[in-house]
Amino acid sequence: MARRDVDVPTLVEAARSGSPRAVARLISLVEDASPKLREVMAALAPHAGRAHILGITGSPGVGKSTSTNALVGALRAQGKRVGVLAVDPSSPFSGGALLGDRVRMQEHALDPEVYIRSMASRGHLGGLSWSTPQAIRVLDAAGCDVVLVETVGVGQSEVEIVGLADTTIVLLAPGMGDGIQAAKAGILEIGDVFVVNKADRDGADATVRDIRHMISLGDRTQPNLWRPPVLKTVAAHGTGIDEVMEGIDKHLAWMTEHGELQRRRQRRAADEIEAIVLAQLRTRMGDLRGSHGMDELAARVVAGQTDPYRAADKVLADIT
C-alpha cells in the first residue's frame, strides 16, 4: 500500500475506467495527505464537477443506512454509477452500530458500479473528516453520477454537510422528529428534502405535519425559494423511495434553474480553498514555533521590550 512510485495519471485513468482498486488507492492518497496529494488533486480537477452530491443526515436510529441502501438501489435501477461515503463519528462507542450498518450495505458491495467507503472522522473540520471533500472529488472525477455522503447527524456534522452537498436529505423518524426538536437541532435550515422514515409507525403523520408547520414559519415561503418537501418512507420495504428520488431530482432542477447549484458549489470550493490556506499557514506557524526567532520574540514580549501585536507583525512578515 505504501508504494512511493505510484503513477498518478495511470491511477486516475484506471479509476475513470471503473477500477475500484484505483479509486480506493486515490482516496487513500488524499486521506493520508500523501506527498502525491497535490498531484492527485490537479489530475482530478478536469474530470470533477459532474456528480450530484447528496448529503444524508439524521439522528442515530432513524434508518440512515437502510435509506442510503434503498437510494443506491433506486439509482442503480436508473443505471447510474454511485459512490457512497459513510463518515463515521470518531466516538468509539458507535463503532459497533456502524459496523452493522456497513454490513447491511453489503447488498451493493459486489456491484462494480457502486463504490462504498467509510471515512474516519478526524475532526479537522469539526464533525466531518478533513479529507471528505477530497474523497468526494475522487468519486466525482472517477465518473460517479451521484455521490452519497452519509453522516451521523450529531452536532456540527449536520451543519457541515450543507457545505459539502448539493442536496441535503434530512431523515427523521416518528416521535423523534417533532418540530420543536428539529428546530432546536437546527435541521430545519439545512434540509432540502425531509424524509420521515419508519412511516408505518405511530405518529408519522404528526411528525410530517410538525415539520411542514415549522418550515412554513421560516423564510422558506418567500417567492423563488425552494420549498422542501416532507416525504414518508419505510426504507426497509422500499416504500416511498421513488418519491424521494423525485424530490431529489426536482431539487436539482430547481437549483440549476435558479443558479443555486453554481452558488453552492462556488461556496464549497471557496470553503475548501480557505481550509487549505489556513492549514498551510498553521503549518508555517508551527515550523516557526519551534524556531529560535519565535522564542526570541516571545522573550521580548515577556521582557516588555515589545508587545504581542508588534511581535505578530514580525511573525506575519516571516510566514508570508
Which residues are near its own copies by CB under 8 A? Answer: 37-38, 41-42, 44-49, 133, 262, 265-270, 272-274, 276-278, 280-282, 285, 289, 294-295, 297-299, 301-312, 315-316, 319-320
Question: How far, CA to CA in Å, does 28 sit from each of 17, 45, 90, 102, 148?
Answer: 18, 17, 18, 19, 18
For the CB of residue 108, give the shortest distance to its own copies in the complex, in Å. Answer: 28
For the CB of residue 49, give the shortest distance to its own copies in the complex, in Å. Answer: 5
For the CB of residue 59, give the shortest distance to its own copies in the complex, in Å. Answer: 23
Instruction: Tell me whether residue 110 or residue 303 sits nearer to its own copies (CB atom).
Output: 303
Instruction: Tell me whether residue 47 or residue 250 sits nearer to its own copies (CB atom).
Output: 47
Instruction: Print burial letters for 124-150: b (CB count within 10 Å at least 16), e (below 16).
Output: ebebbbbbbbbbbbbbbbbbbbbbbbb
Instruction: For residues 266 and 49, give the distance between their C-alpha atoms in angstroms, rounded to a whole number.
Output: 11
For the CB of residue 188, give the shortest distance to its own copies in the complex, in Å. Answer: 22
All three cell numbers of 168, joined, read 441535503
CA-wise closest residue to 75 among 105, 102, 114: 114
Instruction: Tell me whether residue 42 or residue 103 sits nearer to its own copies (CB atom).
Output: 42
Q: Is 111 helix (H, G, I), strand (E, B) or coil?
A: coil
Listed in sequence order, the residues at least 6 apart from 42 whose beta carbon sits closer than 8 Å to its beta carbon are none
Instruction: Tell me whether residue 27 or residue 196 sits nearer to its own copies (CB atom).
Output: 27
Instruction: Tell me whether residue 25 or residue 268 sits nearer to its own copies (CB atom).
Output: 268
| 75: enclosing H helix or E strand | helix 64-77
Instruction: For residues 108 and 311, give the distance between their C-alpha atoms in angstroms, rounded to a whole number.
Output: 57
For the CB of residue 314, give the shortest distance to its own copies in the complex, in Å. Answer: 9
Instruction: Tell me whether residue 46 or residue 96 sits nearer to its own copies (CB atom).
Output: 46
For the CB of residue 279, give the shortest distance to its own copies in the complex, in Å. Answer: 9
- For residue 87, the tally of other CB atoms under 10 A from its CB is 27
Instruction: Tell me whether residue 101 or residue 140 sits nearer to its own copies (CB atom).
Output: 140
Edge-first strand order for the sheet with 82-88 is 114-120, 82-88, 146-152, 52-58, 167-172, 193-196, 230-232
For the CB of residue 143, give the shortest distance to its own copies in the complex, in Å. Answer: 14
Instruction: For residues 290 and 45, give the distance between their C-alpha atoms in angstroms, rounded to a whole number.
Output: 35
| 231: enclosing H helix or E strand | strand 230-232
For the CB of residue 91, give the shortest distance to its own copies in the complex, in Å. Answer: 16
For the CB of residue 137, give the shortest distance to its own copies in the complex, in Å. Answer: 8
Instruction: Tell me whether residue 61 or residue 155 sits nearer to its own copies (CB atom).
Output: 155
Instruction: For residues 225 and 221, give the distance between their C-alpha atoms in angstroms, rounded to a whole number.
Output: 7
All three cell numbers of 296, joined, read 526570541
Instruction: Tell me whether residue 209 or residue 310 sits nearer to its own copies (CB atom).
Output: 310
